[in-house]
Copies of this chain bind each other. A is one copy, B any other.
């Protein structure tokens, strides 16, 4: 009897996922029936992305797991009806997208690209950027994405310091805790925020901590909008403490047309495109977790409900 998997992501996502999921199940030797509608009591696995087609998970009495297609699970982890194991997505393909975005915008700010792209008149100003080895970068958040981005930036020759709430041993320098955050923010020209959204990371960059930045530092936020206090960010830009903010994520998405970020001369808005899931690789992760579930092995990337990620 085939394994019944309910595709509970938005209907608009089906066209993008049907073929890669089918291919991944076949490659893993799994007999999965993938459907967009089913009797809840018969479903073995739910494949989920917000806002999704399921909000009450209680009728899914047989389901062994809810497998998120998104890395961030803040829109589902607090759902009281969700008592099944919840796995977030750690997609090697998404990591490639995120590394591109972060390395690209770090290099853009390092090289001062904007003045060449926005120039209206011929200017031959050969003032060079510093050498990458003289351009310290901080990466806040050392999960899969933060680590991969930090490693890529370090490989390009930038001195990178990673920061997390707790100490980590990684192949590049790291710091941790509130004192460490002060040191890391004060020691970097470019700061990348790549933490999950949790109660602890809400407003991680508030007015006080933005005040620890070097004069003219740049913040790149491809993590979550809630990591930054928006009013404090605008104030730090206007005071000159913050030189530029490149933001991919916002408290409200799409970013409303009247929001000051759209028109601020030292804010770059990108429309939540940094971390695209890559269906071929992400489908392999879904298939592997179904294989594990069927074999009674521990799931990959199981969400810790206490930490909420």
| A residues with CB within 8 A of B | 93, 96-97, 99-101, 103-105, 107-108, 110-111, 113-114, 116-119, 122-129, 131-133, 152, 155-157, 253-255, 257, 259, 262, 268-273, 276, 278
Contacts and interface: CB of A to CB of B under 8 A. Distances in A.
Contacts of A116: 268-270
B255 A124 contact: yes
30 contacts: A93-B133, A96-B132, A97-B128, A97-B132, A99-B156, A99-B157, A100-B107, A100-B129, A100-B156, A100-B157, A103-B103, A104-B108, A107-B108, A108-B113, A116-B268, A116-B270, A117-B117, A117-B268, A123-B271, A124-B253, A124-B254, A124-B255, A125-B271, A126-B272, A126-B273, A127-B273, A128-B273, A129-B273, A131-B278, A152-B155
A131 B104 CA distance: 14
A107 B110 contact: no
A246 to B, nearest CB: 9
A110 B101 CA distance: 9
A131 B93 contact: yes
A278 B132 CA distance: 10
Contact of A97 (B131, B155, B271): B131
Contact of A257 (B107, B122, B125, B152): B122
Top 3 A-B pairs, shortest CB-CB distance: A104-B107, A124-B254, A128-B276
Given A97-B131, A103-B156, A129-B276, 18 more contacts: A93-B131, A100-B111, A100-B129, A100-B157, A103-B107, A104-B107, A116-B268, A116-B269, A116-B270, A117-B118, A117-B268, A119-B269, A122-B255, A122-B257, A126-B271, A126-B273, A131-B278, A152-B155
A122 B273 contact: no
Contacts of A97: 128-129, 131-132
A124 B128 CA distance: 34
A136 to B, nearest CB: 14
Contacts of A126: 271-273
Nearest to A269: B116
A160 to B, nearest CB: 14
A122 B262 contact: yes
Contacts of A117: 114, 117-118, 268
A123 B259 CA distance: 12
Residue of A118, A133, A255, A270 with most partner-chain B CB within 10 A:
A270
A91 to B, nearest CB: 10
A132 B100 contact: yes
Contacts of A124: 253-255, 271
A92 to B, nearest CB: 10
B108 A108 contact: yes
Nearest to A124: B254
